[in-house]
Structure 1
Amino acid sequence: MGEPTATAEPAWREFARAPLVPVALAAAVGLVLDRYAGGPLAAELLTAGAGIVAWGVSRRAAWLWLAAAGVAAAHHHTHRAAFDADDIAAFATARPAPARVRGTLDEEPARFRPPRPDPLLGRPSPATASTTLAVTAVETRDGWRPASGRARLTVDGRLDGLHLGDTVEVVALLSLPDGPSNPGELDYASLLRDRRVTASLRGRGSTEAVTRLDEGWRHSPLGWVAALRGSGARTLSDAIDPGEAGLAAALLLGDGTALDRAEWDAYVRTGVVHVLAISGQHLVVLGWFAWLVLRVAGVRRRRGAWVVALLLVGYAVLTGGRPSAVRAAVMVSVVCGAIVLRRPQRPANSFALAWLIVLGFNPADPFTAGCQLSFVSVFVLVWGAGRWLAPRPLTPLEELVEDSRTLPEKLIRRGARWAAVGFAVSLILAAANGPLVLAWQNIASPVGVVLGPPLVLLTSVALVAGFVVLLTAPLAGWLAWPFARATEWCLAGCGWLVDLAERTPGGWVYAPAPPAWWLVGFYAAVAVVVLLDGRGRRVAVAATAAWLLLGLAPPARQLPADELRVTFLHVGHGGCVVLEPPDGRVVLYDAGTTLGPDAIRRTVAPFLWHRGVRRVDEVFVSHADLDHYNGLPALLDRFPVGLVTLTPSFRDRPTPAVRATLEYLEKRTVPTRVASAGNVFAAGGVTLEVLHPPADGPPGEENVRSLVLLVRHAGNTVLLTGDLEGEGQDRVTRLPAPHVDVMLAPHHGAKDANTRRAGVDRWEPGPIALWARPRLAVSCQKAGPTDHLRVAYGAVGADVWDTPTAGAIVLRSHPSGLVVEAFRTGEVRVVRRGW
């Protein structure tokens, strides 16, 4: 292992001689320009046309590269932005509304199992199914109207009996896909647009929302592929123990629904999810096995090459045509084609061809994690690790010593070398892919370096054995039995190793994503390290190490020295308020939602990372209702938390969720304290005064004992009320009325907690509104009516902002005043009397 031999040429020369490489690079530039600069389609088409004409006249390759950039940009633009006038999005609004839609299932329904029982999940979630509907008609007041486009369809239930190609009628809530509601959150609408999906259909209650009008899967080639994949899943389920059948379906068929989120997350956290998700590795292992069998069977090389190429292309289609599988299928097919034609092939050329074919199928795929990781891994593995770890030629003396060794000695030495190379490759790929994984998943998994090689070996054996099971089980169960057992044992070993790695201290850690500019610089440096040899590479390695250290430096928190920032996050029916005092501390008021702990992963953690937060100093839990604290364990997994402050009655709530949360706090050795009326806490020029509850009582449900915090900074005041209502609200409103600028509407804006009935469907200010008289009331709630709040708080001179409409609501307090911003609408206003 070490430097390549003297006869090996630098990798950049191979890329320089490959004619498709500059075309692929130009296409990548075109994609990036359209994605982030958004040029007009006419200009992109003009660029492509001008490049083609100029190339036809001058035959200079540079003009062809310009044409490739223009074509790629136009292809990406039309893929994401060109839709017919009768697209389903034209019938949808941001607020879900009942609709009746007809169309054809454009994907085989993905059938998800209910999540595991979890005390932190308020109510058990049902099994769900999702698919894409190619819309043909929408019912309007004037009857059925033709429509087009694609909608994401999700229903409660499994949609058994429906398949890709079937024509259906759907009765569901139609809406435009949601964009991000909080800074740092995933843009779901953009994600769907990458798949040319412009609307969402949500059917609740049962699968009766979907009725089949005509069976069509038998008339669709992809329908037959889906049926074959379903048959394979049933074969694996019958032949393999249920405990490992899900892993087998994920490994062999790319069935993402075969494992639940907890099982997938274990592989993600330990950095080895690539061994399960269908990737180029799977196709290479399968292709190597097929080639070996064909050679042993005496099949000639050229015929064997045809068989391997067709097998891998078919397998890539069967498992969903993911970019990584398409890349591997193209590159292996090029090798097979070279064997058939008896022509040499350039790996750099086939690498570039694979890139062009992937973006030809879907120009948005290069902006996905799987595609990026696949191409980076192959680039580093083939032109980097493959050269660096190649054995140097033996000297004549070393050859004599090697010949003198016994067979067991040779086998042991060879095995040791293979193991050393395997771990070295794992380390190289982890270093190369680590920043991308961090950018996409906010996780670093050093344990994956050690875990990777044995898992690759186990899953490779399981893949080959499982493939034999798929072929032989329909013929004779006894014939498949030994291969099924081998598959089970290998996958059980994978599960045992992953479980062990998960429990390894420091084996994995959540962290903020590096900035985009740093990622660009890092991968430019990686490319230089791979492509250069000798002194140039050594200089590049040193520069890469320096760049890496720069990326590891903690990001600077952007907060003026005299400013308090308060953010009301949109988490649905729940609450999480983030306070950032001027001294750099971070304090949370509540962390929970009825949507379950997963909301922390999707909303709160990305927001904190977006703000450059690496530690949460304190969490105040308003009371022991699940939707206010069930995100605490997920928060503790992702951030060090210095202190958790509870109400006097929190520990007395006899629920499994409270017990589970307290046990998790103890497991993480997070100290707790109890706050009650009269306590005052200080944080960097900010005071937090506890107005309620008292040390004992009042009696009743938890809402009456909700923690009320009065936050003061620079003459500005924010009142946080949790779910305060009933006797608790009466006690607070008997206190001397403070000056309140902004208040959190109690109990997510519920009528009983904020208003008083003044007649049939008529409301007037409730006690809390009349007592506080805020300038702005913030309602953290799920989507729903807020008219009663606007009437009640409007009567005392306040406006109302709700998080479903505004998204995250950010307050910035400083000596010159108080500014409020709405993330979704972009509205910015100064909070003052009569605003």
Structure 2
Amino acid sequence: MDHERATIRDDPAASGRDAPLPRAPAVPCAVAAAVGVVFAGALPLPGWLLMTATIAFVAGAAAAQTTGRVRLATAFTILALSGLAAVRTVTGTILPDPVHIFEIAPQEPVPVRLRGVVATAPVIRNSQQDAFTPPWMRSDRTVCEVVCTHVCPQAGTLLPVRGRIRLQTTGHLLHVDVGERVELFGTLRFAEPPRNPGEFDFQAWLKGEGISAVVHCETPDAIRSLGLFERGGVDPHFWRSHIRQRLRTIMGRSVRPGSLPVAVSLFLGDRTGMPTPMRDDFAASGMMHLLAISGLHVGIFAGLVLIVCRVLRTGPAGTALLVIVCVWSFAFITEFRPPVVRASVLTTIVVFGWSAGLQGWGMNSLAVSAIVLLFWNPNNLFEPGPQLSFLAVIAILTAGPLLTRITRPRPSPLAPERGPLWRLLEPAVRWMLASALLTCAIWFYTVPRASTLFHLIAPIGILLNILLVPAIAVVLALGFAFLGCGVLLPEIAWLPGWLFGTSLDLLLWIVHEAAGIDAGQMFIPGPSNSWLLVFYTLLLIASGLVPVRLVRRWAWRGVAVWFLSGLLLALQPPARESFRCTFLSVGHGGAVLIECPNGKTLLYDAGMFGYGRVAARTIQDALAARGIYRLDGVILSHADVDHFNGLPHLLPRVPIGSVMVHPTFFDPDQPAVNEASEALVRHGSVIRTVFAGDRLQVGEGVQARLLHPSAEIRDGSDNENSLVLELSVAGRIILLTGDIERVGLDRLTRLPARRIDVLMSPHHGSIGANTAPLARWADARSVVLSTRDLTQHDKLRDVYGPDVTLYSTAVDGAVTVTVNGEGKLQISTFRGNDSRLGRRRVSR
């Protein structure tokens, strides 16, 4: 249970029908601040105009208060708070004088010499190590943020500039720390917008963090330290970095290297060193929330401080002061992460109230912390972490009265006498019931939002959270005690360190075993944004946003009806009026999503050169954006790793009907093929071998036929043996070619010629595979290149001629071909119109 529930008074509205509803003046203020943030983002206005309106609202509130018109004064005050939040949003996201960066960094990357001050500690991110990643791509990289002071584009003199950039370098950046002035030589560029449906918007995230651009350095030697920016080391970022490093060193003395990344995440909030398989285990077991520092951590830490204060007999005032200082020191060390700030604000309110003999309603205190966070960083309103954190606390506050009835029942003189066995087991039984209720409440409040982010729900997590709540609390308490002893009493730190390391290893073993249970997790697309808006509006009203008991009762009924309707809609297969084929943008790789009108879905290839996990995530996001929860079949064109390395990472998440390959795919001399084959066997996948002439059963109105290779063909290379799939819909033909080239291409072009409406450019648009005979044979109207090369499409204009429209996933993002029942074909790109190509949406 989060610590706020134990210290903030229960909601009287839920404890009795005649109890008066508590006053919560901070709740409408928090809503007003949120509305101001949304307004500023949806309708950007000059800061001076918003400030003028805010001053006018303040004047109106003062005038209304003077004349005794209290309601009008309240309305003007709320409007003023909303305007102030809008001003904070505008001034917080527009950096002062960033014009030089925007002029110097066009859409294309440019070399740059830059000076600035390191603002965040350099974080080393380990490379992916598996059979699908080439050795030359297995390089770690370091990431940090730099506040720019001077910049020199290409050749020229240093110019003064302001702005914040994200610095990325290949290798380990060890000679630079927070607060140091640096000079670096790298490539300056802007973050690109999303390329695919449902993809994370990295550009918008950077903008919300106040970061103007990204600079990449090829080596740490391209970054030179110029010394500390602040003489004497008074920069708080500098001291925080050294404190965090000291705590890492202490943890490393007693924690196994394999468990150390989890320990660092639990107490410092840094997950960058955690291997991806370990993260996947936490996600699959429903225990991902443990890796995010939250109110549970702050509550346990504050409880330990209270115990120390009682031992030292510091008195109420001294105890309150020490708890508040320690909690905010912890927030400082963990870089003021929103959930920690939220919990610290609540702790401060509770401790002040306790020392003054006052109590307050939890929802009002939570609203105060929301206001603090919104003015701290308005972007917190849109960040998943703060959203899920606040939803979990609201669930705890709402379930609080029921928890009290379970754990502290009122004695009744009419109750029958219980036996000694029941009296012995009653505390444990009541605790289990309370833990189950609390877990289910948090799950109900957070799962709809979490499913839209991760496209995964883990029912096994409900059981684990019920059983492991005391164990998790013990692990955190031992960890805090170990760190405290390591700093203050290192001579005796070995004992809590050993206990902490042992308990953490046991917890990790449980998480790993739970993640291996296939029925413990399931892939879901997640509800739409409109559904979420209605659901959470009703849920927040029912939880106390509107302090009217009748309204809250009807809101709970609305929540039940809306939740059940959403559940029923999610169980229905996706209904489509048209056929749709989407070439996903996966760099140098392939992933083509085929959606048939009858609801069946196929995937042609699933890979990306060097980044199989990224390819799998791209496919998952696209499926979720389209409301698809399973794949009826996956066709792997051939045994090149950039066409199948995403499949092993997709198998644990997305149900797949069957996997279709040509017999030449199973090459025992390729480690990546062996690992993919083992993954298919491990997950019980149905594997089918297919050949030229086979027709796939995809439903009425859609014909899917394999043109190449035949059963007896065993050409020299994997590319030559690529499976070529012809899709025919209402007289329109789409041809998917894989990497077919040389002998295989000759065999294909000997087949009867046909008019192809959309041709997938073979081998990512390479000149050797896109030959004049292919262009004549296909007579294509449109050609789609799945590539990472921004200029490859220009090289093919002479091959296919001026009348053929060329699309490139590197430039256009995902390319979607839609064919309706009448045979009308439309081609659209995810990035819309592109001025550089002078191309518009194609409709025929």
Q: Name 1:642's counterpart in structure 2.
A: 657
In the alignment, what sits opposite 1:30? 36
Asked whether 1:739 is paired with 2:752, we answer no
Q: Structure 1 pair 425/558, CA: closer, same or farther in 2 (3 Å)?
A: closer
Report the Cα distance in structure 1 between the residues aligned to 2:112 and 2:33, rounded to whole angstroms: 41
Give me the whole-angstrom Cα distance separating, in 1, the residues matched to 2:280 and 2:103.
Answer: 37
Residue of structure 2 in register with 1:721 after alignment: 737
**Structure 2 segments unaligned to the other structure (5+ residues):** 1-9, 66-72, 834-838
Distance 1:788 1:24, change over 3 A: closer
> TM-score, structure 2 length as denominator?
0.91
Change (3 A) 1:12 1:367: farther
Cα separation, partners in 2 of 1:239 and 1:664, compared to 1, 3 Å = closer
Match of 1:811, SS state, is strand
Task: Please tell me whether residue 821 in structure 1 is matched to residue 833 in structure 2.
Answer: no
Of 4-13 and 678-687, deviating more is 4-13
Q: CA deviation at 1:49?
A: 2.3
Letter matched to residue 185 of structure 2: V
Q: CA deviation at 1:668?
A: 2.9
Q: Distance in 2 between matches of 1:540 and 1:754?
A: 61
Q: Counterpart of 2:827 in structure 1: which amino acid?
A: V
Maintained 8 Å contact 2:818/2:827: yes
Q: Secondary structure at the match of 1:196?
A: coil
Q: CA deviation at 1:265?
A: 2.4
What are the Cα deviations for residues 90-126 of structure 1, in whole angstroms up to 9, with x where unaligned? Answer: 32223323222221111111112233x3223344521
Partner of 1:88: 101
- Structure 1 residue 69: Cα displacement: 1.1
Counterpart code for 1:121: T
SS in 1 for 2:449: helix
The answer to whether the aligner puts 1:696 opposite 2:712 as a matched pair is yes
Opposite residue 807 of structure 2, the aligned amino acid is: W
Indicate yes or no: 2:590 matched with 1:583: no
In structure 2, the residue matched to 1:320 is: 335
Change (3 A) 1:453 1:558: closer
1:275–1:455 Cα contact (<8 Å) kept: no
Q: Distance in 1 between matches of 2:414 and 2:327?
A: 41
**Conserved? CA contact 1:171–1:210, under 8 Å:** yes
Provide the residue aligned with 1:196 in structure 2: 210
* Correspondence for 1:183: 197
Q: Is the 8 A contact 1:33 1:39 kept in 2?
A: no
Aligned residues, how many? 813
* TM-score normalised by length of structure 1: 0.92
1:596, CA displacement in angstroms?
2.0
Match of 2:367 among 333, 345, 352: 352
Amino acid at match of 1:736: P
8 Å contact 1:572–1:595 — kept in the other structure? no
The separation in 2 between residues aligned to 1:264 and 1:816, in whole angstroms, is 46
Deviation at 1:275, TM superposition (A): 2.1
Q: Is the 8 Å Cα contact of residues 86 and 146 (structure 1) preserved in structure 2?
A: no
**Which residue number corresponds to residue 171 of structure 1?**
185
Q: Is the 8 A contact 2:196 2:618 kept in 1?
A: yes
Relative to structure 1, is the Cα distance of residues 439 and 263 closer, same or farther in structure 2, using a 3 angstrom cutoff? same
What's the CA shift for 1:183?
1.5
Once the two structures are superposed, what CA deviation does each residue of 1:488-536 show, in whole Å capped at 9, x if it has no partner?
1221221122122212342221211211222222223323443389887
Partner of 2:539: 526
Give the distance between the partners of 2:650 and 2:409, measured in 1 at CA: 53
Q: Do the aligned residues in 2 keep the contact of 1:511 with 1:614 (CA within 8 Å)? A: yes
Task: Give distance in 1, aligned partners of 2:595 and 2:576.
Answer: 11
* Structure 1 residue corresponding to 2:92, chosen from 79, 98, 101: 79
Higher alpha-carbon deviation: 179-188 or 495-504: 495-504
| Aligned position for 1:780 | 786
For residues 728-763 of structure 1, give each alpha carbon's deviation from its aligned partner in whole angstroms, at most 9, with x where no partner exists.
1122222222111221111111222225xxxxxxxx
1:199 maps to amino acid: A
Residue 519 of structure 1 aligns to which amino acid in structure 2? L
1:351 alignment partner, SS class: helix
Cα contact 2:764–2:786 (8 A) shared by 1:
yes
RMSD of equivalent CA atoms? 2.7
* Residues 729, 43 of structure 1: alpha-carbon distance in 2 compared, 3 angstrom cutoff: same
Residues in 2 aligned to 1:208 and 1:485: alpha-carbon distance in whole angstroms: 39
| Secondary structure at the counterpart of residue 259 of structure 2 | helix
Aligned to 1:120: 132
Cα distance in 2 for residues equivalent to 1:645 and 1:13: 65
Pair 1:418 & 2:431 matched: yes
SS of the residue 1:311 aligns to: helix
Asked whether the 8 Å contact 1:458–1:493 carries over to 2, the reply is no
Amino acid at match of 1:182: N
The change in CA–CA distance for 1:90 and 1:387 in structure 2 (over 3 A counts) is farther
Q: Would the alpha carbon gap of residues 323 and 791 (structure 1) be closer, same or farther in structure 2, given more than 3 Å must change?
A: same
Residues 600 and 632 in structure 2, CA contact (< 8 A), matched pair in contact too: yes
| 253-262 vs 358-367, which moves further | 253-262
CA distance in 2, matches of 1:328, 1:286: 11
- Code of the residue aligned with 1:119 in structure 2: it is A
Alignment CA distance shift 1:98-1:752 (3 Å): farther
Counterpart AA for 1:236: M
Cα distance in 2 for residues equivalent to 1:828 and 1:228: 55
**1:399, CA displacement in angstroms?**
9.1
Cα offset, 1:587, TM superposition: 1.6
How far does the alpha carbon of each residue in 1:557-610 deviate from its partner, in whole angstroms, 9 at most, with x for none? 88764x321111101110111122222221211111114221234311111111
Shift of 1:475: 5.6
- Tell me what 2:493 maps to: 480
Given the alignment, which residue of 665, 673, 681 partners 1:658?
Answer: 673
Q: Distance in 2 between matches of 1:347 and 1:615?
A: 42
1:746–1:250 Cα change, 3 Å: same
1:751 matched residue in structure 2: 767
Aligned-residue identity in percent: 30
SS in 2 for 1:752: coil
- Aligned twin of 1:771: 777
Q: Match for residue 432 of structure 1?
A: 445
Q: Post-superposition shift, 1:375?
A: 1.3
Letter of the 1:208 counterpart: D
Matched, 1:628 2:640: no
Corresponding residue of 1:300: 315
1:131 touches 1:154 (CA, 8 Å); kept in 2? Answer: yes
- Report what 2:260 is aligned to: 245
What is the DSSP-based 3-state SS (H/G/I as helix, E as strand, rest coil) of the residue aligned with 2:381?
A: helix
Quickly say closer, same or farther: Cα 1:520–1:829, change in 2 above 3 A: closer
Cα deviation per residue 1:359-404 (whole Å; 9 max; x = unaligned)? Answer: 11100012111111111211221243344543465335379958xx
What is the DSSP-based 3-state SS (H/G/I as helix, E as strand, rest coil) of the residue aligned with 2:250? Answer: helix
* Residues 185 and 606 in structure 1, CA contact (< 8 A), matched pair in contact too: yes
Distance change in 2, residues 1:162/1:533 (3 Å): same
Question: What is the SS of the residue equivalent to 1:242?
Answer: coil
Opposite residue 280 of structure 1, the aligned amino acid is G
Tell me the equivalent position of 2:411.
Answer: 395
Alpha-carbon distance in 2 for matches of 1:351, 1:362: 17
1:158 equivalent among 141, 154, 172: 172
Deviates more, 1:362-371 or 1:684-693: 684-693
Distance change >3 Å, CA 79–CA 535, structure 1 → 2: closer
Q: Aligned letter for 1:94?
A: Q
1:116-159 deviation line (CA, Å, top 9, x unaligned): x3223344521111111111122133321122111111111121
**More divergent stretch after superposition (161-170 vs 332-341):** 332-341
For residues 247-286 of structure 1, what are the structure 2 equivalents within 5 Å? Answer: 247-286=262-301
- Residue in 1 aligned with 2:482? 469
Asked if 1:802 is matched to 2:808, the reply is: yes
Q: What are the ranges of 5 or more consecutive residues in structure 1 without an aligned counterpart?
A: 756-765
Q: CA deviation at 1:5?
A: 8.6
1:706 Cα deviation after fit: 1.0
Aligned to 1:760: none
Query: Quick one: which of 341, 351, 367 aligns to 1:336?
Result: 351
User: In 1, Cα distance between the equivalents of 2:322 and 2:590?
Assistant: 58
Bigger Cα displacement from structure 2, 777-786 vs 189-198 = 777-786
- Per-residue CA distance 1:759-779 (angstroms, 9 max, x = gap): xxxxxxx43223323222211
Equivalent residue letter for 2:168: T
Residue 618 (structure 1) shift: 1.7
**Residue 723 (structure 2) pairs with residue 707 (structure 1):** yes
- Distance in 1 separating the partners of 2:149 and 2:479: 40
> 1:46: Cα distance to partner?
4.0
Q: Write out aligned runs for 1:612-623 (5 A).
A: 612-623=627-638
In structure 2, C-alpha distance between the alignment counterparts of 1:446 and 1:578, rounded to whole Å: 28
2:161 aligned residue (128, 147, 171): 147
